Amino acid sequence: MTAQANLESRQARLEHEWPTPLTARELDQQFPGIFDGAMLLAGGANIILQLALPAVGYGVAESRVESGSILHHPIKRSRTTFTYLAVAMMGTSEEKLAYRRAVNRSHAQVHSTEDSPVKYNAFDENLQMWVAACLYWGFVDTHQKLHGPMSREEQETFYQLAHPLGTTLQVRQDTWPKDLEAFDAYWQEGLQKLHIDERIRQYLMMIADLTFLSSPTRFLLGRFNRFVTTGFLPAEIREQMQLEWNDKKQRRFERTVRTIGRISLLLPRVIRQAPYNLVLWDFRRRLKHDKPLV
């Protein structure tokens, strides 16, 4: 069998295993608020979690794909990330395959060199699995902090819908933990592998403090972003980031995000879900007119 035939066979297998995607309306009916713009409050914390795995952290910090750097092109990078989430969760099989091809072209340039302190490759399935796990965990954790607890059954249902967060790229279906219990074990084991050295910590602090944005934006949002980013982090990662926290800040954080969650649900769904629906619309427009997707 040729390499091309192998690739097509593997793509067909993955395509067959993708669940039928829910629409934005259906997602909101089953899990009210889980695809709202308010969820983006935890974006910085989720990036930190992903990059706390050394091979992922250095892969991003040393990446030669400047066009994909949040520090140099924050709007483009954010659009690419939100588009991936929207396509993975709501896109058709054909759309997933198209975005996979586009992302793969960028990932082909991301690999360690002889000078890298950590070996990494963007096509490493294990690294992609960790990133996808962070995305799933972030959806559920953020949703619960904004809107209150999800039942175990609700979490399991969303978990089974969420595996395209990994399998849209190189994560195989049999690599994705089969159920929530298996995921919980994987997650706890993964947390033990996280380590943030000083170089990566400095890089991540630029994300927490929004130092890559304009001075007025940084002045208006920088302190608040550090506050919510710190609050959304697991305690052990917060400590590695050397971010101060106490019971008073925890109570203020809980009041703040729950208030934002309540206010968000008062808005019409089309407004709440606008960030994801807009990037999905833009992706489909680009795909139709054969324009660059990332």
Residue 213 DSSP class: S
DSSP of 144-166, one letter per residue?
HHHH-PPPHHHHHHHHHHHTHHH
Helices then strands, counting H and E runs in the chain, come out as 16, 0
Q: Which residue has the tokens 């889980």?
A: 34
Tell me the per-residue pLDDT of 73-89, one tens digit each, with 9 for 90 and over.
Answer: 888 888 999 999 999 99
What integer best gives the mean pLDDT of the chain? Answer: 92
Task: Name which of 288, 287, 276, 292 is nearest 83 in CA terms.
Answer: 276
Mean pLDDT across the stretch 122-136? 97
Tell me how far apart the 2 most distant CA atoms of the chain are, in Å: 63
Cα–Cα dist 244/7, whole Å? 48
Tell me the per-residue pLDDT of 24-63, one tens digit each, with 9 for 90 and over.
Answer: 999 999 999 999 999 999 999 999 999 999 999 999 999 8
Domain residue spans of the chain: 3-288
From residue 168, give the alpha-carbon distance in Å to each of 183, 188, 198, 228. Answer: 18, 24, 32, 29
Task: Provide the pLDDT confidence category of residue 68 given band limits of 50, 70 and 90.
Answer: low
| Paired residues of 121 in beta bridges | 111
pLDDT at 229 over 50: yes
Task: Name which of 163, 132, 145 is nearest 14 in CA terms.
Answer: 163
